[in-house]
Amino acid sequence: MKNVRQLVFKDITDLKGHLTPVEARKDVPFDIKRVYYITRVAKGERRGFHSHRNLQQVLICVSGTVKILVKTPYGEEVIKLDNPAKGLYIGPMVWREMFDFTEGSALVVLASEHYDEEDYIRDYTLYEKEARIYFTENEEN
């Protein structure tokens, strides 16, 4: 799918548990300027409902499981994050929604830029219009 791909990180396992390292510009394709995490989501709640114009992100579910809907004007897909060694890369101009957070789950997001409200598109009709222009201009994707 355009601007979306699944990543698999190293999982360093021993009797004492699991350690998963994620190096900026190596395991994810950008400098990590911001990290945020979503926790304690009530059962049945759905979050997201936006796209970014430029931001690149990698989503990792470090505890529990969560489902991610990614959508462009050309198709959509649901990816279940159920293992801390899995990452979901989401590039520019992809609509996303997060749902089915299990109790105690924690979704960690690594982001390529500092917070910038101007980079968000929160209206789906506007998103679709801008996305068609963006993907037409970036046909190699």
**Which residues would be at the binding site for a second copy (CB under 8 A)?**
15-24, 26, 31-42, 45-47, 60, 62-64, 84, 101, 104-106, 108, 110, 114-115
For a second copy, give the closer residue by CB, 60 or 131: 60
Strand partners, 47: 98
Measured from the CB of residue 94, what is the shortest distance to a second copy in angstroms? Answer: 19
- Which among 20, 138, 6, 133 has a CA at the least distance from the CA of 80? 6
Q: How far is the CB of 82 from a second copy (least distance, A)?
A: 12
Structural Rg of the chain based on CA atoms: 15
Instruction: Give the catalytic positions in this structure.
Output: 50
Nearer to a second copy, 43 or 136 (CB): 43
For residue 131, the cross-strand partners are none
Residue 49: partners with Cβ closer than 8 Å, 6 or more residues away: 95, 97, 122, 124
Q: Nearest distance from residue 5's CB to a second copy, in Å?
A: 19
